[in-house]
Amino acid sequence: MKPPITTLSQLKASGWVSRSVKEEIRGNAVQRIRANEPLTASILGYDDTVMPQLQNALLAGHDIVFLGERGQGKTRIIRSLTGLLDEWMPIVAGSEINDDPYAPVSRHARDLIAEQGDATPIAWVHRDDRYGEKLATPDTSIADLIGEVDPIKVAEGRYLSDELTLHYGLVPRTNRGIFAINELPDLSERIQVGLLNVLEERDVQVRGYKIRLPLDVLLVASANPEDYTNRGRIITPLKDRFGSQIRTHYPLDVATEMRIVRQEARPAAIGDVQVHYPAFMEEIVAQISHLARANANVSQRSGVSVRVSVSNHELLAANAVRRGLRAGETTVAPRVSDLEALVASTAGKIEIESVDDGLEGAVFEQILRGAVLQVYKRRVSGDKTKELITAFESGTVVSTGEDVSSSELFGFAQQVPELQKLALSLLDGNESPASVASAVEFVLEGLHLAKRLNKDSAGARATYRSRTTAV
């Protein structure tokens, strides 16, 4: 709730104490750490790596640069830092740069306090309004960040050197708050120098005129390691200005990637079609990203973002819904046969090192097969498949594919008790035809990739048979 204080005298009487933004953040961080509460928004997988470094940096009062590839939550962490600010902050009413009533910076605020004294009006700013952000681009100017002379104010009779002629940019307007620059190396070196000047020397030079402007700002930036040699660099003096450099990373294990995907992906249900997402299919989606990050044919400089996993998760569900709509089904589950659709959601997010014709498809196929096989080996032990292999050696043949309905696959499973038993063991009690059909395809494809069954593909349909059975 906004405090009812409206004048400087009331503010003094309330006992409010002025703190720098870094002291304010440090104090609130101390309270959260003592209470064992998270400092920022939930970024899964960073509890033992990034977060301790962030806590140290904030307690030390450092400006911070987050270094990491795309899709590692850098911007999300930065934006969530506003939660460490006090909910409400008093300013001199009418101030464009959030002047501290006890230590005004702008000419406007100083003159107002000199004129009205304790009767100076006070306004309150919410912490959400104390955050400024700029995506660095080569065409970013000093005017964008610092400010520019307002010709209208000059026309009113003021001198160019008069501070009141200045139209403030993003940084001054974030005074007593947090200012973030995304992709800092993309900022031209000339502009980086200007930024350093206002943050370190505490003055502004606009059109050759020097204006004293001691701003109180926590500077936070993000950068991609590739950018240091590709598109630009952070100049050494500015790099030295950052007290801490924190390296982010992709999820270290498949389980963490799955948790992130569940948190970020859109709900799978579309209209009246319900989607049951088996855990092994979620694991395959996460495993695809992990294998891509380790594949020599995939450019690791550009990275394989978690967004790949999120997009793949959503598209896999969408393909299952489309298949279900065509079959007249109201409950669907993603299957192994749906994985081919992921080319559309993956191709634009990963870069293949070689430009050889057809290599991209081959690399993706290799990753898909590897993901299914690894998940299969983790979830299905060899002793569970002995009876099923025996059943296939007795002449069992099963067909799967996009044109095979869930009810058909469910019926196949009922006819082969060994297959049904194994499929149900993977479903955590969900025995719907759609889920059983998904588990059946997963088991059959896993056995094929493990070289226990033969697979004949024709169009959208695949037929699985014993390796000892003639075609």
**Residue located via tokens 């306090």:** 113
351-378 pLDDT, tens digit each: 887 656 567 778 888 999 999 999 999 9
366-413 pLDDT, tens digit each: 999 999 999 999 999 878 888 889 888 888 888 898 888 999 999 988
Strand, helix or coil for residue 318: helix
pLDDT at 225: 78
The CA R_g of the chain, rounded to the nearest whole Å, is 30
**Residue located via tokens 């709900």:** 267
- Pick 199 or 76 by higher pLDDT: 76
pLDDT at 296: 85
pLDDT at 93: 94
pLDDT at 359: 74
**For residue 230, what pLDDT band results from cuts at 50, 70 and 90?**
very low
> Percent of the chain having pLDDT more than 70?
92
Span of 55-69, 226-240, 357-371 with lowest mean pLDDT: 226-240
Measured from the Cβ of residue 272, the count of other Cβ atoms closer than 10 Å reads 7
Residue 7 backbone zone (phi > 0: left; psi -120 to 50: alpha; other: beta): beta
Instruction: Choose the most confident range, by mean pLDDT, from 83-97, 157-171, 177-191, 426-440.
Output: 83-97
Report which of 172, 160, 173, 170 is spatially closest to residue 203, judged by C-alpha positions.
172
Structural domains of the chain sorted by starting position, each given as residue range(s) with its CATH number in brackets:
8-247 (3.40.50.300), 254-466 (no CATH)
267-278 pLDDT, tens digit each: 877 888 899 999
> Percent of the chain having pLDDT more than 90?
52
Cα separation of 149 and 165, whole Å?
6
pLDDT at 363: 86
Cα separation of 456 and 466, whole Å?
11
Question: Tokens in use for 82?
Answer: 């506003």
CB 166 within 8 A of CB 204: yes
Average pLDDT, the chain: 87
**For residue 251, what pLDDT band results from cuts at 50, 70 and 90?**
very high
Question: Tokens in use for 90?
Answer: 């008093």
